[in-house]
Amino acid sequence: MNASCANQAVQNLHMDLCHMLDLAAGVKDCAKQNNSICVQCKIPGEFFTGEKMTDFNSTGHIVCLLMGILTVVAGIFGLFTNSLIIAVLAKTKKSKTRTFNLLLTGLAIIDLYCCGAAIIAQLARMALYGNWVHKGYATLQWYMASTNFALFGRSASLNMALLITIERFLVIAYPIKSRVWFTLRKTTLVAAGVFVVSILLNGPRFFNYQITHNIYSGQNEITSLRDFDYLIGTTKIHEIFYKTLPNIHGKIAFWLPWPALLLFNFLSIMQVGKLTQRRESLNRPRRKEIEGMTLFMPVVVSYVIANIAPFTHFLVIKFAKTLYRELSTAMILSIAINSSIHFHLYYYRNATFKRDTQMLLLKWRGIKPANRKASRPDLTNTSTGV
């Protein structure tokens, strides 16, 4: 690299392009035959262990590869388990369980999408890090689009979890009024609204970049970019949403749901605690509402744990001004894991869901389940759903 081009006009490369390069922060890389043409990275890409991208057998590469394999495994498993959740809930016909089941089905559909998006996004990282593919137009689009789709899924899943938490709290705190608030039609509209808001908040990320020909070739060739036929650049939309409006939509999508999610989960815990003290005086439907809330609380905990990696990734970018490839890979892995574990929480914490799942699996295998009607709990008057 030619670092002698001080006082020259320098082009700042896109952060996502920089994370594929070995170009240290502030170091200018200039064309060999024209040192007035230079590029640099404000936020460089690095491995924690300091190896270069070309050290394919290094610790950093191996760690990212292992996380990539785990993502594919978790994602494939999540595709199956979320499909199973949807199938089990679809067989619940009782009218008083339909709204809660509708929300859980909506979450499972989003998680199903998240698992697929995480697999595709992680495969793009594995291919680029390992130099398995040519760095052309299709490869860069694969990386950028799949990452954005995965982040959109993460946001939509979190927003749906927030809606379910609010619904559970209101059903417990206001049992009479909630029957009017959460009719099947109103619940469907609210769930659709949450999905639309997720699209609006994440939409700009799909239009803030463009894939352009590598202009730093031929006589203007820059060493760090010689393997790229195309480059990642910004658009006018990026100027509007990320500079004029300093990523307000992204900050809302990333941070705003968390205070509300934690607040309503805390209020629900307090409400459940009060009701549990006089559990003997509660009728069966109220007890089942409490069970529905306690069923979903671990899901909220799973969101908190799974988002440690994304939080760390974005905070490190903001304050350390470095994009660590291990954190980027861990972020996508966390999306796959979080989207694939909800089935286990339902299965091991709710006897009805567990039984219905077992019966459905037996049916898929062509085995006629034993008649358990006599021992089946009476859930006719509950709105707990699963």
Which stretches of the chain drop beneath a pLDDT of 50? 2-6, 374-386
What are the phi and psi torsion angles at 250 (to 5°)?
-65, -40
pLDDT at 367: 82
> What are the tokens at 376?
């089946």
pLDDT tens for 295-308 read 788 888 889 999 99
SS (H, E, C) 295-334: HHHHHHHHHHHHCHHHHHHHHHHHHHCCEEHHHHHHHHHH
* Cα–Cα distance for residue pair 64/56, rounded to 1 Å: 11
pLDDT at 143: 96
**pTM strictly above 0.85:** yes
pLDDT tens for 163-180 read 999 998 888 888 888 888
Q: Which domains can be identified in the chain, with CATH numbers?
A: 54-214+228-375 (1.20.1070.10)
pLDDT at 284: 66
Going from the C-alpha of 163 to that of each of 83, 107, 139, 188, 329, the distances in angstroms are 21, 10, 36, 12, 28
* Cα–Cα distance for residue pair 224/30, rounded to 1 Å: 9
Q: In whole angstroms, how large is the CA radius of gyration of the chain?
A: 25
* Cα–Cα distance for residue pair 316/276, rounded to 1 Å: 43
How many residues in total does the chain contain? 386
Which residue's entry shows tokens 């070309």? 54
pLDDT at 331: 96
pLDDT at 182: 86
Do 230 and 211 meet the contact criterion of CB atoms below 8 Å apart?
yes
pLDDT at 380: 35
* Cα–Cα distance for residue pair 7/25, rounded to 1 Å: 17
